[in-house]
């Protein structure tokens, strides 16, 4: 199994051991049962931990530091595909949702979603983009099964 960067038990540095044990690097309290998870030797030993350990200032997989392909701007408009946001309007029993679809190049489509007496989803007005219209109706099934105040989903670009 592939290990993620920074994956392993945290290795702490305590320059002057005293109970309760507190790491001088990250400030974490270390229970006595984990006394093998730290060193009291000079800092150079902290930088080269035993196998299976990672220095505590590098421990844990940090998703924020991972590099991803940039697929979205900060204003909800994706560079590919579309972001679908459904927001319930009024009371839960009304089952009426505001639909916003954010598309590339800053395009935004809006509609209202409701279900007819037979339980079929309807968009009023219909969305002018056929792909966005179809994806909205697919996502409407999720809301019909599990009504919630808000649903936000990204869908990949339409296959040509």
Instruction: Tell me the average confidence (pLDDT) per consecutive run of 10 residues in the chain, 160 residues long.
Output: 56 72 77 70 70 69 46 61 89 80 90 90 92 93 88 78
User: Which pLDDT does position 156 carry in this prediction?
Assistant: 83
Q: What is the pLDDT of residue 97?
A: 92
- Tokens at 39, concatenated: 């060193």
Q: Where are the alpha helices (DSSP H) in the chain?
A: 43-47, 130-145
Question: How many angstroms separate the CA atoms of 97 and 101, rounded?
Answer: 13
Residue 146 pLDDT: 85
pLDDT score for 155:
86
């Amino acid at each position: 199994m592939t290990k993620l960067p920074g994956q392993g038990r945290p290795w702490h540095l305590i320059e002057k051991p005293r109970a309760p044990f507190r790491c001088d690097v990250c400030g974490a309290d270390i229970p006595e049962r984990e006394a093998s998870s730290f060193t009291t030797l000079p800092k150079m030993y902290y930088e080269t931990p035993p196998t299976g350990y990672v220095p505590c200032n590098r421990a844990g997989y940090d998703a924020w530091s991972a590099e991803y392909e940039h697929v979205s701007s900060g204003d909800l408009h994706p560079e590919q595909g579309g972001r679908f946001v459904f927001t319930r309007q009024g009371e839960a029993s009304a089952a009426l949702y505001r639909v916003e679809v954010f598309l590339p190049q800053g395009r935004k489509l809006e509609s209202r979603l409701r279900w007819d007496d037979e339980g079929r989803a309807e968009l009023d007005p219909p969305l002018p983009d056929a792909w966005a219209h179809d994806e909205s109706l697919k996502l409407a099934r999720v809301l019909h099964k599990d009504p919630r105040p808000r649903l936000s989903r990204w869908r990949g670009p339409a296959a040509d």
